[in-house]
Amino acid sequence: MFKKLKDYYDYIENDNSLSFDFNLNKYLISLRDKYKQNTQKKKCSFEIYCNDFRFEKGKLKPELTYANGNHYPSLELFDDDLKYIIQRAKETNNPKHKAKYNHLLWESPIKNNKFCKLAITNYLEFLNLVISEENDTLENRNIQSIYENLFVLTQTINFKKEETISLLLANLALNNINGYNKFHLMKFVCEQGKKIEKNILIEFYDYSNDVIENELYQELKKEYLDLLILLAKKTGKDAKPYHNLLAETHLKESEKHKESFIVHDYYIKALKQFQLAGNSRKVEDVTVLIEKEKDNLNFKEIKVEHSSDELQQWYESLDRLTTELTDNYPSKAIYEYLILSEHIFPKSKVLDETFKTPLMDLVSTMNFDLNRNVSESSISSLNPYYIHIKNFSLRHLLLVFSKGTKNGKISFQSLKDFLTQSTWYGIDFSIINPDGKKVVFKWIDLILPSLNSFFEQSEIDLKTHKNNPMGYILSVDSLTLKFEGVLRAFSRQVGAQTIDIKENGTRERISIDKLLENEKLTSIIPADDIAFFKFLFSKDKLNLRNNVAHCFYKPNDYSASIVWLLICAFLKLGNFEFNNRK
């Protein structure tokens, strides 16, 4: 805790940690709330903004992007023409923070080479300070990020380029940074550098070759062989030996997966490398292996777990973020986060993308829906949108909903209050019934019963540490069908077509797919939200409505995760205001 702003400045001067203290802003907010003077309050706010800024490969990356295109944090938050940041950049002596203040100024409208040079100089000083002893830990990931920022800046203004590359070269033979970071940074320099001198590339080549010959970093053998292939091409050396070695590495890895169809993937990778090496004898051998292994193909479900520094770091960061969100922010802010965050769901551009492994060129594929009909669903193949939802979005939502439910921030009552007060589901609508009488209702009243069922079951699951799929049947079925209702109501409010008139004069309701493609909707609803709705309800995607309406879902197909997705869909569609209601 800080008693005064000077305490924070003193902390900054002594902070040489590679990791970020996630309690820092909490302490600053507490300090800001204690101050009565607006000047001191504003300084605390400015420091909070500074801490929330992140740089990725030399460029500012906002923490949040809102539906209207605005970002947080934004340099526009500094309403003093950045005078405070300029002052702090001068007064701070700590190279870690001096680099960041100057990097912010370099990215600002008052862009000046002197800020970039100061950022470079201090990044270099800080890296030299922290890379001073063996530190083969996850903190090396932060060294990687800082070096990338430094390298991009040096390339941008052609300042201290040699010194920056020399820093990496000097540490290749040492254990101050781990093997993965050495590989990654050499590759980054090769791919991002402008006119990198050949002698530098040869030093990278020689070191990587030593790694392979001396069997260092065996868990990274494939990565270093890939790098050697790249370096061989850039330096005019023969890459064929490395293609052969990489192929043999894939074959060796395949031995761990005998009698599994996964072995095919390793065979195909080996085959490709032998082809690039021009090794016709080995190409024939691996082709025979592929043909023999076809007899062992079966369609049992196989789970492959993958772990890496990047995934672990992502999960730890997400864990901290969701704890911060659910512990320190009110329910309303949590629901707004589910509506507006760009870090939960995939982007619209990958919704219809598919990709194939080389194995798919050797076999015929057919997709089947839950009712075992032949299906054209893209999610049955390798679809990046579906993979993102399954592996990242649901993990994100699990942490938000479980933590929020445990501490009472996410509940039936809080969601009811939010939907009633902050979405159009809580406003009065009227219709004329067949008797000619006016009926007034709120959409929230049709949604609440299924939400109540969901929260009752999720609380039971949290207390018993179990998952009862049957307990979510009512909430999934009801919310799925009600979403079509609110989507049609929304379409009517914005003047979008909801029915077709056939040639014989009969009326037919337009499908959800066509509703979501209407220009009046797509001009209002963000493209990423439209993609999310399509993923949930379109016939060639998850197709929730069809699977529920035709009872294709069996009890074990239901889960809390489907309700999380549906709640997010309702939140996103409800985040609009109508000037004229009908």
Check: CB of residue 514 under 8 Å from CB of residue 487: no
Which pLDDT score, from 0 to 100, does residue 502 have? 66
Which pLDDT score, from 0 to 100, does residue 232 have? 97
The torsion angle over the Cα atoms of residues 235, 238, 241 and 244, rounded to 10 degrees, is 100
Q: How does DSSP classify residue 66? A: -
Distances (CA, A) of 50 to 45, 98, 105, 417: 9, 12, 11, 34
Q: Is the pLDDT at 104 greater than 80, yes or no?
A: yes
Structure tokens at 496: 């979008």
pTM over 0.75: no
The backbone region for 72, taken as left when phi is positive above 0, alpha when psi lies in -120 to 50, beta otherwise, is beta
Look at 231-245, 354-368, 536-550 and tell me which has the smallest mean pLDDT. 354-368
Structure tokens at 108: 């600002």
Which pLDDT score, from 0 to 100, does residue 299 have? 45
Q: Is the pLDDT at 417 greater than 90, yes or no?
A: yes
Residues written for the chain: 582
CA distance 279 to 246: 13
Which pLDDT score, from 0 to 100, does residue 437 have? 83
- What average pLDDT does the chain have? 87
CA distance 211 to 200: 17
Span 122-132, mean pLDDT? 91
Bridge partner residues of 346 (DSSP): none
CA distance 393 to 45: 31
Check: CB of residue 59 under 8 Å from CB of residue 35: no
- Of 142, 164, 143, 141, nearest in space to 154 by CA: 164
The domain limits of the chain are 5-196, 238-298, 316-573
CA distance 491 to 9: 54
CA distance 522 to 564: 24
Q: How does DSSP classify residue 495? A: T
Which pLDDT score, from 0 to 100, does residue 359 have? 41
Mind listing the pLDDT tens digit for each residue in 468-478?
888 999 999 99
CB atoms within 10 A of CB 404: 23
Span 22-47, mean pLDDT? 92
Q: Is the pLDDT at 461 greater than 60, yes or no?
A: yes
Give the pLDDT band (50/70/90) at residue 158. Answer: very high
Give the pLDDT band (50/70/90) at residue 140. Answer: low
Which pLDDT score, from 0 to 100, does residue 433 have? 76
The burial class, CB within 10 Å (0-12 / 13-18 / 19+), for 510 is middle
The percentage of the chain sitting over the pLDDT mark of 90, rounded to a whole number, equals 61
Q: Is the pLDDT at 135 greater than 70, yes or no?
A: no
Which pLDDT score, from 0 to 100, does residue 48 have? 94
CA distance 388 to 395: 10
Span 170-180, mean pLDDT? 88
Mind listing the pLDDT tens digit for each residue in 299-322?
444 454 555 677 788 888 899 999
- Of 510, 539, 515, nearest in space to 525 by CA: 515
Span 8-27, mean pLDDT? 89
Backbone angles phi, psi at 388, to 5 degrees: -65, -45
More confident residue, 555 or 240: 240
Q: Is the pLDDT at 97 greater than 70, yes or no?
A: yes
The backbone region for 205, taken as left when phi is positive above 0, alpha when psi lies in -120 to 50, beta otherwise, is alpha
Mind listing the pLDDT tens digit for each residue in 430-443?
888 777 788 889 99
CA distance 319 to 134: 28
Mind listing the pLDDT tens digit for each residue in 349-404?
988 876 554 444 444 443 434 443 334 444 445 678 888 998 899 999 999 999 99
